[in-house]
Amino acid sequence: MSNQRIVVLGANGMLGSDVMAEFAKAGIEAKGFDLPQFDITDIKRLGDIIEQADAVINCAAYTDVEKAQTEAELAHTINADAVGRLAHFAWENQTWVLHISTDFVFDGQKKTPYVEEDVPNPINEYGKSKLAGEEQLILSGCPYCIMRVEWTYGDNGNNFVKKLVSLTNERDSIGVVDDQIGSPTATVETAKVIRQLIDKKPQGIYHYAADGYVSRYDMAKYIFEKLNINTKVEPCKSSNFKTAAQRPLNSRFNCDKIKRILDEPIPDWQKQLDDFLGKLK
Ligand SMILES: NC(=O)c1ccc[n+]([C@@H]2O[C@H](COP(=O)([O-])OP(=O)(O)OC[C@H]3O[C@@H](n4cnc5c(N)ncnc54)[C@H](OP(=O)(O)O)[C@@H]3O)[C@@H](O)[C@H]2O)c1
């Protein structure tokens, strides 16, 4: 059990809320902060919070991938500039920062799963802002762990799983891309891993995702089958969808590095999704 002073930023978001719930379940005390009471761009407030923390988990972020294309400056202010200041305060206080990042730092062109040493090359504004945040953290010299996650879903936020299921109320058939491959990952499972990392305080970059890989199309078919939904799933290509932001086609992570420090094996995407869908039914 941890007796550190732990702070969670973005504590009401999809991941942050599950982190808070996981800590509460484990009897770990943590202080949560989020909009509207706490704004990560408020330097004075941020400094005061970091000064009184031994560990900071940063789940706060500008996460609207589409809107970021036209609000790049705002995305950068929250995902990069604020992270830079957070890192500076953390360096001053030698506070360990667990910063959540994303597969969107990569361009998705690699033919095999991404390892931590792969060179990022984001293809949209959100990805660029998240990469800039990572860089600021690394440059600061503070004790940090960047945990890149991907394709996450949970109870308290918009995500692919919920959107797909809600669309079945309106349509008899849904087109889903079969050229984007990744690992659907539950935020409740991610939160369990974060709870383990709090004591271990690893440093550097770590990739975390559910075990195994699947396309968005096969994932949709799996979900409808599990929920006995008759809506037809039609395979299509990312190029068929007119979106403001481009998405990486390959989001696969190699998670060997984090697996070496975790107490238990990472559950596969089917197990994680089954648990989530069981609650949706
Ligand atoms: N969702 C995914 O598929 C995915 C994939 C890879 C990585 N990630 C990363 O995972 C982390 C957690 O994101 P999430 O999925 O939990 O998304 P989320 O639900 O949007 O959580 C982000 C939280 O940050 C808050 N926030 C936004 N601007 C803020 C500000 N200026 N000051 C303080 N808090 C602010 C949001 O508040 P509001 O809701 O009020 O704006 C929200 O509570 C992020 O770093 C994200 O980049 C997510």
pLDDT digit string (tens) for 141-196?
999 999 999 999 999 999 999 999 999 988 899 999 999 999 999 999 999 999 99
pTM summary value: 0.97
Identify the pLDDT of residue 3: 81
Distance 229 CA to ligand 1 centre (A): 30
**Count of other CB atoms within 10 angstroms of residue 32:** 19
Q: Is 213 a catalytic residue?
A: no
- Give the residue whose CA is nearest to atom 43 of ligand 1: 13
Six token digits for residue 21? 């719930």
Beta carbons of 150 and 102 less than 8 angstroms apart:
yes
Q: Does 150 sit in the ligand 1 pocket, CB within 6 Å?
A: yes
Q: Count CB-CB contacts under 10 A for residue 63.
A: 20
- The finding on whether 182 has its CB within 6 A of some atom of ligand 1 is no
**Average pLDDT estimate for 98-116:** 98
- The pLDDT of residue 2 is 63
Cα–Cα distance for residue pair 83/41, rounded to 1 Å: 9
What domains does the chain contain, in order, with CATH numbers? 6-159+184-212+252-267 (3.40.50.720)
228 pLDDT higher than 70? yes
pLDDT, tens digit (0-9, with 9 covering 90-100), for 34-78: 999 999 999 999 999 999 999 999 999 999 999 999 999 999 999
8-state DSSP, 80: I
Q: Is 158 in the pocket of ligand 1 (CB under 6 A)?
A: no
Among residues 62, 114, 126, 144, the one annotated as catalytic is 126
**Mean pLDDT, rounded, for 108-125:** 98
Buried b (16+ CB within 10 A) or exposed e, 12-25: bbbbbbbbbbbbee
CA dihedral 33, 39, 40, 41 (to 10 degrees): -170
How many angstroms does the Cα of residue 30 sit away from the middle of ligand 1? Answer: 18
pLDDT band at 235 (very low <50, low <70, confident <90, very high): very high
pLDDT for position 170: 86
Mean pLDDT across the chain: 96
